[in-house]
């Protein structure tokens, strides 16, 4: 009996041999393969904070754009369901005299407003970038109109351009010129809005140019002056090339802002007299909410979107080509 037990004990077992290290690994808790590093945690926190802004942008920017593109192929009003009409809305605006007038007025407004604004803003920035007495006060004075609402500014200037307003009594009456109906005259109404817009926008672009001038190295200017360069030569050879990124930025912003102008024409003239101040955005508004033609208004909006996108891309392309040259 004892021999049998001894033989049983010495018989090799089928159980595999486990080393002490293996046993220790089995008893220890398993570590996660997806351990977050410090950089990954920061990325996740950044994504968590960015998601609300992305959702907001998608709901209030991306979706309206896509919806506008969609509705431009439909006959749509506020009271009736949309009916698919294909390219009829685009065909109707091509021969629409009112659309062509508003588009032309928009380009005129951009040209007559923002070309003088950019030139004057650059000149003011150059003047206020020098060491002159009271330059901080002048910067503040020129920037005050920027922080004012377009609606408030439009109402104020509507009163100024009234027949019995400040403009006639201050600038015309002392020279024996009779009062003008600035906002009801076919030729004067666009000029009145341009004057107001130049006053309103000048300070913003002046500050942008001032910021760009801080990137112009003073030692380069001093070296050029030592070599006998005139102020005009310094500006043309040093300042202007270094301001190219700023000029591109201000030009793009000016074009986009000018093409989207709405409030001055809406508040001051309602697009009149006889569509003299009717711009594209005001035409879109009236087509959609006065004439209740949402499909046609959507097609106009798509055209405006494409114009802004094309001009912006062209300006960037011109800047890149000039930079490589």
Question: pLDDT tens for residues 188-219?
Answer: 999 999 999 999 999 999 999 999 998 887 77
Q: Residue 230 — pLDDT band, cuts 50, 70, 90? A: confident
Nearest to 98, CA basis, from 267, 291, 263: 291
Q: Which residues on adjacent β-strands are paired with residue 75?
A: 83
Task: Give the residue-averaged pLDDT of 299-324.
Answer: 85
Q: Residue 68 — pLDDT band, cuts 50, 70, 90? A: very high
Q: Residue 19 — pLDDT band, cuts 50, 70, 90? A: low
Q: Which domains does the chain have, with CATH numbers?
A: 96-324 (1.10.3720.10)
Task: Give the residue-averaged pLDDT of 31-50.
Answer: 74
SS3 at position 110: helix
pLDDT of residue 222: 81
Are 158 and 267 within 8 A, CB to CB?
Answer: yes
More confident residue, 5 or 76: 76
pLDDT in tens, 71-108: 999 998 877 888 999 999 999 999 899 999 999 999 99
Residue 266 pLDDT more than 50? yes
Percentage with pLDDT > 70 across the chain: 87
pLDDT of residue 5: 47
The reported pTM is: 0.82
pLDDT of residue 26: 53
pLDDT of residue 25: 54
pLDDT of residue 58: 92
How far apart (Å, rounded) are the C-alpha atoms in residues 151 and 148?
8
Residue 47 pLDDT more than 90? no
pLDDT in tens, 123-179: 999 988 887 777 788 888 888 999 999 999 999 999 999 999 999 988 888 888 888
DSSP secondary structure of 254-314: HHHHHHT--HHHHHHTTT-STTTT--HHHHHHHHHHTS--HHHHHHHHHHHHHHHHHHHHH
How far apart (Å, rounded) are the C-alpha atoms in residues 314 and 66?
23
pLDDT of residue 190: 96
């Amino acid at each position: 009996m004892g021999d049998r037990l001894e033989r049983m004990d010495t018989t090799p077992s089928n159980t595999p041999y486990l080393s002490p290290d293996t046993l220790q690994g089995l008893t220890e808790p398993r570590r996660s393969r997806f351990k977050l590093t410090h950089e990954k945690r920061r990325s996740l926190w950044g994504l968590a904070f960015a998601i609300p802004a992305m959702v907001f942008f998608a709901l209030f920017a991306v979706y309206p754009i896509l919806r506008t593109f969609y509705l431009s192929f439909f006959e749509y009003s506020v009271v009736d369901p949309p009916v698919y009409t294909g390219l009829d809305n685009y065909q109707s605006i091509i021969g629409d005299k009112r659309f062509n007038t508003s588009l032309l007025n928009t380009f005129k407004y951009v040209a007559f407003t923002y070309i003088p604004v950019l030139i004057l803003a650059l000149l003011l920035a150059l003047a206020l970038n020098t060491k002159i007495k009271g330059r901080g006060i002048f910067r503040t004075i020129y920037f005050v109109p920027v922080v004012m609402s377009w609606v408030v500014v439009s109402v104020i200037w509507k009163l100024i351009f009234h027949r019995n307003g400040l403009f006639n009594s201050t600038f015309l009456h002392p020279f024996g010129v009779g009062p003008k109906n600035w906002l009801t005259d076919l030729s004067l109404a666009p000029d009145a809005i341009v004057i107001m817009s130049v006053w309103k926008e000048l300070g913003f672009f002046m500050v942008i140019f001032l910021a760009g001038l801080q990137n112009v190295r003073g030692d380069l200017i001093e070296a050029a002056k030592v070599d006998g360069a005139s102020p005009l030569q310094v500006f043309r050879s040093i300042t202007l090339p270094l301001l190219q990124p700023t000029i591109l930025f201000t030009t793009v912003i000016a074009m986009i802002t000018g093409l989207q102008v709405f409030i001055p024409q809406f508040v001051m003239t309602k697009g009149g007299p006889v569509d003299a101040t009717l711009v594209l955005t005001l035409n879109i508004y009236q087509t959609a909410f006065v004439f209740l033609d949402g499909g046609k208004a959507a097609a106009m909006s798509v055209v405006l979107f494409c114009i802004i996108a094309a001009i912006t891309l062209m300006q960037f392309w011109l800047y890149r080509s000039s930079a490589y040259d």
